[in-house]
Amino acid sequence: GMTEFIAAEDIDENTEYITTGSSELNRILGGGFQTGKLTEVYGPFKSGKTGLAHTIAVSIQLPKKEGGLGSAVAYIDTENTFSKEKIKRIAKRFGLDPKKVLSQIFHARIYSSDHQMQMIQKAETLCKTRNVRLIVVDSLMALLRAEYVGIGMLARRQGVLNNMIHGLSRVAETYNCAILLTNQVSTKMMGMFSGNDAIGGNIVAHGCHFRVMFKTKGFSSNNSLKRRAIIVDAPDLPPEEAEFYITSVGIADTEKGEVPEAKG
């Protein structure tokens, strides 16, 4: 499909949407988590990034009319935060068979940035052969940051990152696949970032179609499950905000974690 011109009116015509578990979050994302694009979600520890990754890894397996794509997931886990138990709970919430859901999540625990690059390439094969329509990289930068320390290593680190982003962009377009990249940003750094600077600097910013910030700030302790999402950078979306909850059954509109109405 890459060698033909298409009419501009048909651009994005094949975008599909995965429910995030929160109708508010779906709304500010333009209808849900979008295919064919890279979405970076950044924020401090415990802001809900991994919760979102787990939720859409399940909800993508719903039929289309219920907010899914009936598809599988490649889950690239650099921080050992993937939880089978959490997946099972989210599956039950969405009325899916937990065992079947787990069988459609291809998980890789990652130990180095080389390994991460290798598994990004393998994920492309899964898109071809195993009906994978979502690739999660949780988290994009953790291993790169640990391995390439100091200003002298910055150019090399950005080079590796660049290759990852380009590889993922190509997969997103070729297979109309959704891509979630999480990025941890310390609370102190959140203040310093003009929206355009999460952790990988400009390469991530320019490589991602959507950049969303998750915030824990501004909620009293009794509401510790409440989070705010802000669209920081998205060509077609207004800079809106949404509030959602992180629950034991994934991202939701309330603490109870019911399933949002699918918009058919």
- In this predicted model, what pLDDT tens digit does every residue of 171-225 receive, in sequence order? 999 999 999 999 988 666 665 554 444 555 555 656 778 899 999 866 655 557 8
The Cα 251–Cα 245 span in angstroms is: 6
The Cα 50–Cα 195 span in angstroms is: 21
Tell me, yes or no, whether 31 lies in a domain. yes
Tell me, yes or no, whether 29 lies in a domain. yes
Prediction pTM value? 0.90
Tell me, yes or no, whether 10 lies in a domain. no
Cis peptide before 221 (omega within 30 of 0): no
Q: Is the pLDDT of residue 20 over 90?
A: yes
The Cα 230–Cα 73 span in angstroms is: 25
What CATH number does residue 212 fall under? 3.40.50.300
User: What's CA 3's distance to the chain center, in Å?
Assistant: 28
Q: Given this model, what pLDDT does residue 200 score?
A: 56
Q: Is the pLDDT of residue 258 over 90?
A: no
The Cα 157–Cα 191 span in angstroms is: 24
Tell me, yes or no, whether 157 lies in a domain. yes
Concatenated DSSP letters of 35-93: TTSEEEEEESTTSSHHHHHHHHHHHTTS-GGGT--S-EEEEEESSS---HHHHHHHHHH
Tell me, yes or no, whether 48 lies in a domain. yes
Burial tier of 9 (Cβ tally within 10 Å: 0-12, 13-18, 19+): exposed
Tell me, yes or no, whether 259 lies in a domain. no
Buried b (16+ CB within 10 A) or exposed e, 170-204: ebbeebbbbbbbbbbbeeeebeeeeeebbbbeebb
Q: Given this model, what pLDDT does residue 82 score?
A: 98
Number of C-beta neighbours around residue 137 at 10 A: 27
Q: Given this model, what pLDDT does residue 13 score?
A: 79
Helices 49-59 and 84-93, axial angle in degrees (round to 10): 60
* SS3 at position 258: coil
Tell me, yes or no, whether 130 lies in a domain. yes
- In this predicted model, what pLDDT tens digit does every residue of 93-107 receive, in sequence order? 999 999 999 999 999
The Cα 145–Cα 201 span in angstroms is: 12
| Residues above pLDDT 70, as percent of the chain | 87
Number of independent structural domains in the chain:
1
- In this predicted model, what pLDDT tens digit does every residue of 133-151 receive, in sequence order? 999 999 999 999 999 998 8
Strands 210-215 and 178-184: unpaired
Tell me, yes or no, whether 86 lies in a domain. yes
Domain range enclosing 57:
21-252
Numbers of helices and strands, H then E, in the chain = 9, 11
- In this predicted model, what pLDDT tens digit does every residue of 6-19 receive, in sequence order? 788 777 779 999 99
